[in-house]
A and B are shown apart, each in its own frame.
Chain A
Amino acid sequence: MSRRLTRRAALAAAGAAGAATAGALALRGGRDGDGPARPTVAAVPGLPAAQHAWDAVLRRDEHGNPLLPRHHRILLLDLARRPDRAGRARLEDALRRLERRHPYRPDGLLTLLAWGPAYFAAIGRPSPVPEPTALTPDEAPEPETAACCLVLASDDEARLAAAERALVGDAGRDRDAGDRDAGGDGAREGAGGDNGALAGVLRLRARRTGFAGAGLPARAQHAGLAGTRQPIARDAPLFMGFKSGLRRNQATEEDVTIPSGPLAGGTTLHLSTLALELDSWYELSERDRVARMYAPQVTPAQAARFTDDAPAPAERLERTAARYGRVGHVQALATVRRDGRPRILRRDVNTVDDGGPGLYFLSLQRSIDDFVATRQAMSAARSRAAPGLDGVLNNGINEWMRVTRRGNFAVPPRRDRAFPLLEAAGDA
């Protein structure tokens, strides 16, 4: 009962927020004449300084591995005005209202707002993150060019929908099936977000929906999913049947936090969109899937005993390639660790936005260079003794994925999350 009341309250509040701001601002490059220059909504006390500091509140499995909220929305937004102090105050107020309405925990709402090169170009500052590019010879991704990327995450789908409506009104619903084009990998352009709290500040470019958690991939398959004839395990947390967030196989939030400079206390975010080929993946025997995911030396029985880590064999990758003619995904990634730990913190979620199985690979790292090094390591194994192994074939799980989009974003600390680095750009 309390859950229903909470949900109803959230919906009512979302409607009120939308009504209060709808149509308040036209699309224009405004100076600070259309609203207060400072936020008027009080910040929720006690929230972490880092936007990416989710771990302390995430649920844990029996081995202590953090579990992401089960449902995600990733909103890609363009600027609806020239960034200024009034716009920043309105954006910060909108986020604070969400935080006052929804508790900061997985069954409430977790958020993260990150800014891309387009934003920094708009404020006349060098971007702290590079434009996205193809990272391997076999991919031709489209770049994410939105000004910012807002991640909303909750175990409660209805709460998530309410939060989205509060921000962008009906714009998200208009694109409810996700953004698509040929090959299922494009974003539809168009105006949006004109009747939510972000109206006049940010405009919705595209929305992405994702999920992660035991049972959700199988549920998606049962609901009708192209390219998945083989049954997905009922309790699988991700489409490929393996866990991705073993805590000792991840960078920590501290590892990925930028220690100094304009974004001190923040991090960087990479967002890839991947199409997965599950039919042929599940045509493999379990032993072959384990070999491809971990290493040829790893057996399914050993993999079943992995609890909070997936240790790679000590053998050098080239030697494994020569002996087995193939290498595993995890062992390839183990070549780019820093201080014994991976350089990126994965928070990836599955999707069916284009009707087929997909993955939004969302990762946090101190520098985009850390992601690039990690991704390139996925394709780097070679051996003259294994001519059948190239950047894709016989190389981890690369055969079963196609990268369709890539985007890089900077994640400022919470205090500077709305129109970050504006003062430094001389606008305030």
Chain B
Amino acid sequence: MPRSLAALAAALLLALALAACGGDDDGAAATAPAPATTAATDHAGAAGHGGGHDDAEHGAGHGAGHGDDDADAGEHDAARHGGHGDGPAQMAGHMRTVARTEQDGMLVEVVAMEPEEFTVREGGRTIRHRPSARDDAHLMVTLTDAASGERIPYSSVQIALSRDGRRVLDTRLWPMMSRHVGMHYGENVALPDAGRYDAVLTVGAPEVARHREVADRWTRPLRIAFTLDWTAP
């Protein structure tokens, strides 16, 4: 599928709506309040994604991404990214912050960019996840301690999109790092149809040892509902 950086830059517009999800609160899951504003921030990237997915060679290692392609992480094909190796220019060209909200001192941002290859360790192997020809974007969520500006690891993030009550996408994002974005949660997704989607983000309580000052922070999962206006590349 041909991709255009310019098209992707305009791909996402998102308005965080109130997250009146849950109705009768069960006391366990925190619910995001109505966010202050929608932020749509462009980040200029350097190099475009090279396209060129070799699914035949790498079998199923793509898409929502749990493929069993047993690849060597060190075998990265820099040429596919314009020969920039693993520097910042490796990242796909254009990122856009499409949602931002803060709750309980945690800044939650949703960022979209072109599909991106990544690797995952599973069971002693390194699995390469190449974007599929159907994938339209690499969706990322960053979690940041609003007080310190430090990224929050060891959480879990799931995103669900539906339209007219029908589920379109429901996927878990991988905990992931990059030099361009830093620690985030991401996944390549197929979302070809333009239009408005109802989105729900589930952010898990970070499972990590804590110093005393954050011992009681972010101990409950968050459920954040918003509306996503999507324009296909």
Q: Please give, as numbers and ranges, the residues of chain B lying within 8 Å of A93 by CB-CB distance.
A: none
Total A-B residue contacts, Cβ distance less than 8 Å: 177
Flag whether A95 is at the interface (Cβ < 8 A). no
Inside 8 A of B28's CB, which chain A residues have their CB? 133-134, 140
With A134-B28, A140-B30, A186-B21 known as contacts, the answer to whether A280 contacts B65 (CB < 8 A) is: yes
Distance from A382 Cβ to chain B, minimum over Cβ atoms (Å): 9
Residues in chain A near residue B165, CB distance under 8 A: 177, 180-181, 184, 354-355
Give min CB distance, B72 to chain A, whole Å: 17
13 CB-based A-B contacts, threshold 8 Å: A132-B26, A140-B22, A140-B202, A140-B222, A143-B24, A145-B24, A227-B168, A275-B160, A283-B62, A283-B66, A393-B174, A402-B170, A402-B172
Interface-centre pick from B23, B68, B162 (highest chain A CB count, 10 A): B162
Q: Are B23 and A145 in contact (CB under 8 A)?
A: yes
Q: Would you list which residues of chain B between 99 and 146 have a CB under 8 Å from chain A?
A: 121-124
Digitize A278-290: 1 where CB-to-B-CB distance is under 8 Å, 0 elsewhere.
0111011101100
**B22 touches which one: A137, A142, A354 (CB < 8 A)?**
A142
User: Which chain B residues lie closer than 8 Å to A143 at the CB level?
Assistant: 22, 24-26
Give the contacting residue for B156; candidates A137, A145, A291, A354; CB below 8 A: A137
Given known contacts A139-B202, A139-B204, A277 and B170 CB-to-CB distance under 8 angstroms:
yes
- Which of chain A's residues have a CB closer than 8 A to the CB of B123? 291, 296, 324-326, 394
Q: Is A10 among interface residues, defined by CB-CB distance under 8 A?
A: no
Once bound together, how far apart are the Cα atoms of A296 and B199, in whole Å? 35
Contacts of A133 in B (CB 8 A): 26-29
B137-171 toward A: CB 8 Å interface, digit per residue (1/0)? Answer: 00000000000000000111010111001111111
- Kindly list the 4 A-B residue pairs having the minimum CB-CB distance in the complex, ordered from nearest: A183-B200, A138-B204, A180-B165, A356-B167
Shortest A316–chain B CB gap in Å is: 17
Q: Which residue of B lies closest to A282 (CB)?
A: B60
Q: If the complex has contacts A134-B28, A137-B204, are A184 and B124 also in contact, measured as CB distance less than 8 A?
A: no
Q: Is the CB of A141 closer than 8 A to any CB of chain B?
A: yes
Query: In the complex, which of the residues B60, B123, B161 has the most CB atoms of chain A within 10 Å of its own CB atom?
Result: B123
Query: Which residue of B27, B66, B171, B225 contacts A284 across the interface (Cβ within 8 Å)?
Result: B66
Q: Number of B residues whose C-beta is below 8 Å from A?
A: 55
Would you give the shortest CB distance from A122 to chain B, in whole angstroms? 14
Chain B positions 55 through 88: 1 when the CB is less than 8 Å from some CB of chain A, otherwise 0? 0000011111111100000000000000000000
Q: How far is the CB of B104 from chain A (nearest CB, A)?
A: 13
Does B221 reach chain A (CB closer than 8 Å)?
yes
Are B26 and A402 in contact (CB-based, < 8 A)? no
Closest to A135 in B: B28
Query: Contacts of B160 on A, CB cut-off 8 Å?
Result: 182-185, 275, 402, 404
Q: Which residues of B contact A (CB under 8 A)?
A: 21-31, 60-68, 121-124, 154-156, 158, 160-162, 165-172, 174-175, 198-200, 202-207, 220-223, 225
Known: A183-B162, A296-B123, A399-B172. A355 touches B67 (CB 8 A): no
Cβ of A396 under 8 Å from chain B: no
Quick check: is A226 within 8 A (CB to CB) of the other chain?
Answer: yes
B122 near A131: Cβ-Cβ < 8 Å:
no
Residues of chain B contacted by A391 (CB below 8 angstroms)? 156, 204, 207
Q: Which residues of A contact B221 (CB under 8 A)?
A: 134, 137-140
Bound Cα distance A133, B68 (Å): 35
Set of chain B residues within 8 Å of A399, measured between Cβ atoms: 66, 172
A388 touches B (CB below 8 Å):
yes
Q: Is the CB of B168 within 8 A of A226?
A: yes
Contact B21 A182 (CB under 8 A): yes
B204 contact set on A, CB distance < 8 A: 136-139, 391-392
Q: A137-B207, A354-B167 are in contact. Are A279 and B63 (CB under 8 A)?
A: yes
B137 to chain A, nearest CB (A): 16
In this complex, what residue of B is CB-closest to A387?
B121
Q: Which residues on B sit within 8 Å (CB–CB) of A138?
A: 155-156, 158, 202, 204-205, 221
Asked if B170 contacts A356 (CB within 8 A), the reply is yes
A406 CB, min distance to chain B CBs, angstroms: 8
CB pair A183–B170 under 8 Å, yes or no, is: yes
Contact of B162 among A132, A142, A182, A406 (CB under 8 A): A182
A427 at the interface (CB under 8 A from B): no
Query: Could you say which residues of chain B place their CB within 8 Å of the CB of A183?
Result: 160-162, 167, 170, 198-200, 225
Instruction: Point out which of A138, A140, A354 has the most chain B C-beta atoms below 10 A from its C-beta.
Output: A140
List chain A residues, Cβ under 8 A from B24.
Answer: 143, 145
A283 lies within 8 A of B67 (CB): yes
Question: What is the bound-complex CA distance between A183 and B170, given in angstroms?
Answer: 8
Chain B proximity of A298: nearest CB distance (Å):
13
A131 surroundings in chain B (CB, below 8 A): 26-27
Interface contact A185-B122, CB-CB below 8 Å: no
Contacts of A388 in B (CB 8 A): 121-122
Chain B residues whose CB sits within 8 angstroms of the CB of A145 once the complex forms:
23-24
The answer on a CB contact under 8 Å between A284 and B68 is yes
- When distances are taken between beta carbons in the complex, the residues of chain B under 8 Å from A325 are 121-124
In the complex, what's the smallest C-beta–C-beta distance from B204 to chain A, in angstroms? 3
